[in-house]
């Protein structure tokens, strides 16, 4: 068993139970905790990481510069699934192991996606604000039964959404370069090109990772293809949607509404999208359930413990 010293920057790590700390203690891993409400930027971490063999991080920026300033670093364990905040190329060059809490939050994110879909379809947030303000406006909503759901990305989260929305009687179209034909057959999902999905979907939800190929995937030219009555839900990553293009589409009534859990810059500050009544915004809470946080904490701790024990790291990404 190796001596491993880990810095924990993920602010919700272990906040829903002590099991994750027990896992680290059981592997005799020494840990230090560095928490704050906001994510840690590059400049916050450069001097802090120098003496650590391992990191457990949330959305904190693990850039090339951070990695270069951590000469002892041998493993990065993500308290979550998305890896766009970690410079994977820099990690590969140093032979640093990167692990993710795969399978920890797919149910939580899927359920929030459905929550936002229903809330937009019935304009729940707007009605709530107006009733509390003394108004009594009854808006016509949309039924999900018989409508078409377009799913971009059929990984674990996309599949959880599809499985649940089939019970609502929705027709499901999907776009993914890696098609799961067995799943598609079981749930009567039709894989189609992106252009076709955009043109036919009444509800469009994004469940793809943020990569070079998905950056601004939902841009001006693709928003034009979407129905004027359609609703967009993004619980994936903010950079997948061009927010300026989305704002223009919404104010010009080229799309009916949008629900945004992830912004390109978080917190979003004075983002124009937040001024619109046909937008529901949440503060990146897709994975923020007690159950998901507990699993993310355990899975990220297990990766460090497995590394310390010289065992196979089950959720190793690189």
Q: How far apart are CA 241 and CA 243, in angstroms?
A: 6
Q: Is 35 a catalytic residue?
A: no
- Non-local (6+) Cβ contacts of 120 within 8 A are 231, 233, 257, 258, 259, 278, 280
Q: Is 237 a catalytic residue?
A: yes
- The sign one gets for the Cα dihedral 283, 284, 285, 288 is negative
Tell me the C-alpha to C-alpha distance, in Å, between residue 57 and each of 100, 157, 217, 301. Answer: 10, 21, 27, 11
Looking at the DSSP assignment, which residues form a beta bridge with residue 153?
A: none
Q: Is 138 a catalytic residue?
A: no
- Which residue among the candidates 11, 79, 123, 284 is catalytic per the annotation? 284
Tell me the C-alpha to C-alpha distance, in Å, between residue 83 and each of 143, 160, 249, 315. Answer: 36, 20, 29, 13
Tell me the C-alpha to C-alpha distance, in Å, between residue 200 and each of 70, 174, 248. Answer: 49, 11, 21
Q: What is the DSSP letter of 261?
A: S
- Which residue among the candidates 237, 243, 254, 302 is catalytic per the annotation? 237
Q: Are 70 and 52 in contact (CB under 8 A)?
A: yes
Q: Are 172 and 160 in contact (CB under 8 A)?
A: no
Q: Which two tokens stand for residue 175?
A: 């776009």
Beta strand 75-78 pairing with 257-260: unpaired
- Which residue among the candidates 2, 266, 291, 311 is catalytic per the annotation? 266
In 3D space, the residue among 273, 134, 274, 147 whose CA is nearest the CA of residue 205 turns out to be 147
Residues forming the active site: 237, 266, 284
């Amino acid at each position: 068993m190796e001596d491993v010293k880990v810095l924990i920057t993920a602010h919700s790590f272990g906040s829903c139970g002590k099991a994750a700390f027990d896992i680290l203690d059981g592997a005799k891993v020494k840990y230090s905790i560095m928490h704050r409400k906001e994510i840690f930027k590059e400049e916050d971490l450069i001097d802090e990481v120098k003496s650590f063999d391992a990191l457990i991080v949330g959305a904190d920026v693990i850039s090339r510069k951070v990695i270069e300033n951590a000469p002892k670093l041998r493993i990065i364990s993500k308290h979550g699934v998305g890896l766009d905040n970690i410079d994977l190329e820099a990690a590969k060059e140093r032979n640093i192991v990167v692990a993710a809490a795969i399978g920890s939050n797919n149910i939580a994110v899927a359920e929030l996606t459905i929550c936002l879909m229903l809330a937009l379809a019935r304009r729940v947030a707007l009605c709530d604000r107006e009733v509390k303000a003394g108004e009594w406006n009854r808006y016509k909503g949309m039924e999900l039964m018989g409508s078409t759901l377009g799913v971009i990305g059929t990984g674990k989260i996309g599949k959880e959404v599809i499985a649940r929305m089939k019970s609502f009687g929705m027709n499901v179209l999907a776009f993914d370069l890696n098609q799961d034909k067995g799943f598609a057959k079981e749930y009567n999902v039709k894989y189609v090109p992106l252009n076709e999905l955009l043109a036919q979907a009444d509800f469009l939800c994004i469940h793809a990772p943020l990569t070079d190929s998905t950056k601004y995937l939902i841009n001006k030219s693709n928003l034009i293809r979407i129905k004027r009555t359609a609703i967009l839900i993004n619980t994936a990553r903010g950079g997948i949607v061009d927010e300026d293009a989305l704002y223009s589409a919404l104010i010009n009534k080229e799309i009916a509404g949008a629900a945004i859990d992830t912004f390109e810059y978080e917190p979003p500050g004075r983002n124009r999208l937040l001024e619109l009544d046909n937008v529901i915004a949440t503060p990146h809470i897709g994975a923020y359930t007690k159950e998901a946080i507990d699993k993310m904490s355990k899975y990220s701790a297990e990766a460090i413990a497995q590394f310390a024990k010289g065992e196979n790291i089950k959720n190793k990404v690189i």
